[in-house]
A and B are shown apart, each in its own frame.
Chain A
Amino acid sequence: NAGVMQNPRHLVRRRGQEARLRCSPMKGHSHVYWYRQLPEEGLKFMVYLQKENIIDESGMPKERFSAEFPKEGPSILRIQQVVRGDSAAYFCASSPLQGSNQPQHFGDGTRLSIL
């Protein structure tokens, strides 16, 4: 069952450290979306990428956050100099084709905890 794979499932960092979250989309999917979920809240869009391109990063904080989806390998969401407010569940979704009528398939997320 080659669904969307995210790792690690849980990540603990101290304030000021860097966090790297990985997402491997479903086979045949070339579109990746990252969402952040705070406790008791819905998912908030962060960034949309295709291979080697950032298509929409309107939901990404301007500082400390970056994302990439290289030609080879998983998509990476990188958070530099983490702060307590970065604690959340980060979900990745993938879809095969551009457009809202193509369902997004979600991974099981990375739970990031900042000490």
Chain B
Amino acid sequence: QQQVKQSPQSLIVQKGGISIINCAYENTAFDYFPWYQQFPGKGPALLIAIRPDVSEKKEGRFTISFNKSAKQFSLHIMDSQPGDSATYFCAASINANAGKSTFGDGTTLTVKP
């Protein structure tokens, strides 16, 4: 059962554009929603995270929008740069489960110069 569904699978954006990646979850017990950035040959690195009591969180060019009623959350990358080209994963976890995360299948972002 796919508990966290991520789309699109791949995304091509021009430099300076906005990249939008969406995730939907099924388990309403999830209470922590991180996004990870992964470069080839490297491990995932935490980018930004949100809890369900907040509808939006912004850190620099990265924003998470969270819609609790729709069970959806999204990552927006403003002013996308070629250096942002990477694979992005959304994830969700339940505090009671001691932090183990359920990941989406990833979005490969390519930002063209």
Which of A14-22, A61-69, A74-82, A99-107 sits within the interface? A99-107
Q: How large is the interface on B (under 10, 10 to 19, 20 to 34, 35 or more residues)?
A: 20 to 34
Cβ distance B47 to chain A, nearest Cβ, rounded Å: 10
Q: Within 8 Å CB of B94, what residues of A? A: 100
CA distance A99 to B100 in the complex (A): 9
A95, A99, A105: most-surrounded residue (chain B CB, <10 A): A99
Q: Within 8 Å CB of B103, what residues of A? A: 35, 42-44
Is B31 among interface residues, defined by CB-CB distance under 8 A? yes
Q: How many A-B residue pairs have CB under 8 A?
A: 75
Q: Within 8 Å CB of A44, what residues of B? A: 103
Q: Within 8 Å CB of B49, what residues of A? A: 103
**Is A101 touching B32 in the complex (CB atoms < 8 A)?**
yes
Is B93 among interface residues, defined by CB-CB distance under 8 A? yes
Other-chain contact of A109, B43, B93, B97, B100 (Cβ < 8 Å):
B43
CA distance A6 to B41 in the complex (A): 13
Q: Mark B10-53, 1 if CB is under 8 A from A, else 0.
A: 00000000000000000000011010100001111110010100
Q: Within 8 Å CB of B43, what residues of A? A: 4, 6, 91, 93, 106-109
* Interchain Cβ contacts under 8 Å between A and B, 6 examples: A33-B99, A42-B105, A45-B102, A91-B44, A103-B49, A106-B43
